[in-house]
Chains A and B, each alone.
Chain A
Amino acid sequence: MAQKPKIENLTDEKLVKLTLKDQNFFVYIINRYEGKLAAYIRRISNFSKEDIEDILQDVFIKVYRNLNGFDVSLKFSSWIYRITHNEVISRYRKTKKIAKMSQEINDEILDKIVDEVDIEKDIDGKQVGKTIGQVMNEMDLKYKEILVLRFIEEKSYKEISDILRKPEGTVATMINRAKKQFKKIYEQRFK
């Protein structure tokens, strides 16, 4: 007799279908994305813990309300990141807070950025997160966010295109511009 799959092993899309039949399944979607989205918001903003919880609550309520509008040709993760991105932007507009990145950057992420941006890694390991954080904080929000999505969240071009609602070609151009801006700020400040 075939075994029922564990809920944890179900795809996002399957969970969406189940949630539409029984709202209690929504808890699994929340649990699956709460941590990832909180980290994403923290990386692209300087919102407080309470603000992030508020944003997350709004995001999940919006997701729940719009479950029937989820386009199955997209990845569910792209859709929920898009909603989160929109909520963060909307919160910026309301609070006029300047987007600052928290300094949660480890060596592995630094190596990726350093390789991609083509700069020499001549900073002390302990200073790594702080330095990258300082550079990112001086970048335009749109460029900072795209670097976060590409190199920290490790999203593909297609996923970024779906999250930011921009053509893939534009995403590629923005990533290049973001790298150039990162390099320029880095060289101005640390060379």
Chain B
Amino acid sequence: MNKDLSKDIIDKIESEKIEPKSKLNFIFKDYFIWFLFALSIVIGSLAVSVLIHVVKIDYNSFSMLQIGFGRKIFMIVPYTWLLCLVVFITVAYYYLKHTKKGYKINPYLIIVISVIASIVFGSTAYVLGAGRTVEDVAYRHLPIYDMIADQKMKLWHDPESGRLMGIVTGKTDDSYLLIDLKKEQWTVRYNEELPLKKKVRLLGEIINQGEFEVSSHLDFRQGKFRMPMCERKEECVRSIR
């Protein structure tokens, strides 16, 4: 070994004016990692709150459909929020591992802690109404979320199977006029009130060409879905207000 290693190192420290980093630097870094961990848990929790909100509403509507259990589950699972939860639990895991003592904790325990924390805080956030608020914000500001949700809703539309979805455009003495997702006009017979200029989901059966008899109806979750008949999202939003 080079006998002058220590001299070389000291010379380098002096010539390059190397100084120990300040203590504050390390304290800040440590707190910042904890902050990122907490932020990941908060976002994961919000994802859980929306997840509960979406599942609850979709379960109520999809459970009315006469479709197989597997397909029902496939339609109810909110993949976007589930993916969001998985992503932020992974991020939380990453940051907790990078705290000073994080490496001492069993990785599985970290995942369990993150999942439990997200579920507990997420359920609380749901009770406080965060689920609905966050989903509303997602619809307004994330076009991709709107598109994904719209695609999911399209699965719901199948007049031959007794499911009709569209916007109520007018009313006559004994029926309503409705434009469906494919821009086709329907005469809808229903002995209850339907909201005008709003999107609805109807259950019933085709009684004639372009004529649908409704047994029950469901409102849209948010009433802000982009509809194909609208050129721009703003028009759709305006049209349903």
CB within 8 Å of B: which residues of A?
Answer: 20, 23-24, 26-27, 30-31, 34-35, 38, 49, 52-53, 56-57, 60-61, 64-69, 71, 161, 165-170
Whether B26 contacts A68 by the Cβ 8 Å rule is yes
Whether B18 contacts A61 by the Cβ 8 Å rule is yes
Contact of A27 among B10, B12, B18, B20 (CB under 8 A): B10
Whether B20 contacts A67 by the Cβ 8 Å rule is yes
A-B contact pairs, 29 of them (CB 8 A): A26-B13, A27-B10, A34-B5, A34-B6, A35-B1, A38-B1, A49-B1, A53-B2, A53-B5, A57-B12, A61-B12, A61-B18, A64-B9, A65-B19, A66-B20, A67-B20, A68-B20, A68-B22, A68-B23, A68-B26, A69-B23, A69-B25, A161-B104, A165-B103, A167-B103, A167-B104, A167-B105, A168-B104, A169-B106
User: Considering only CB atoms and an 8 Å cut-off, how many residues of chain B contact the other chain?
Assistant: 24
Contact of B20 among A30, A56, A65, A169 (CB under 8 A): A65
**B100 contacts the other chain (CB 8 A):** yes
Q: How far is the CA of A64 from the CA of B13 in the complex (A)?
A: 9
Docked complex: B82-106 residues within 8 A CB-CB of A: 100, 103-106
- CB of A117 to closest CB in B, whole Å: 26
The A interface, classified by DSSP as helix, strand, loop or mixed, is helix
Whether B9 contacts A30 by the Cβ 8 Å rule is yes
Whether B100 contacts A71 by the Cβ 8 Å rule is yes
Number of A-B contacts (CB under 8 A): 69
CB within 8 Å of A: which residues of B?
Answer: 1-2, 5-6, 8-10, 12-14, 18-23, 25-26, 100, 103-107
Whether B20 contacts A57 by the Cβ 8 Å rule is no
- CB of A32 to closest CB in B, whole Å: 10
Nearest 5 Cβ contacts at the A-B interface: A165-B103, A69-B26, A30-B6, A68-B23, A67-B20
Contact of A68 among B5, B25, B103, B104 (CB under 8 A): B25
Please give, as numbers and ranges, the residues of chain B lying within 8 Å of A71 by CB-CB distance: 100
Known: A26-B13, A66-B20. A56 touches B5 (CB 8 A): yes
Please give, as numbers and ranges, the residues of chain A lying within 8 Å of B1 by CB-CB distance: 34-35, 38, 49, 52-53
Q: Which chain B residue shows the least CB distance to A39? A: B1
Q: How far is the CA of A56 from the CA of B4 in the complex (A)?
A: 12
Contact of B5 among A30, A67, A165, A168 (CB under 8 A): A30
Please give, as numbers and ranges, the residues of chain A lying within 8 Å of B14 by CB-CB distance: 23
- CB of B32 to closest CB in A, whole Å: 14
Whether B21 contacts A60 by the Cβ 8 Å rule is no
- CB of B30 to closest CB in A, whole Å: 9
- CB of A182 to closest CB in B, whole Å: 25
Please give, as numbers and ranges, the residues of chain B lying within 8 Å of A168 by CB-CB distance: 104
Please give, as numbers and ranges, the residues of chain B lying within 8 Å of A26 by CB-CB distance: 9-10, 13
Known: A35-B1, A69-B26. A61 touches B20 (CB 8 A): no
Please give, as numbers and ranges, the residues of chain B lying within 8 Å of A23 by CB-CB distance: 10, 13-14
Whether B5 contacts A27 by the Cβ 8 Å rule is no
Q: How far is the CA of A30 from the CA of B6 in the complex (A)?
A: 6
Q: How far is the CA of A168 from the CA of B109 in the complex (A)?
A: 14
Please give, as numbers and ranges, the residues of chain A lying within 8 Å of B19 by CB-CB distance: 65
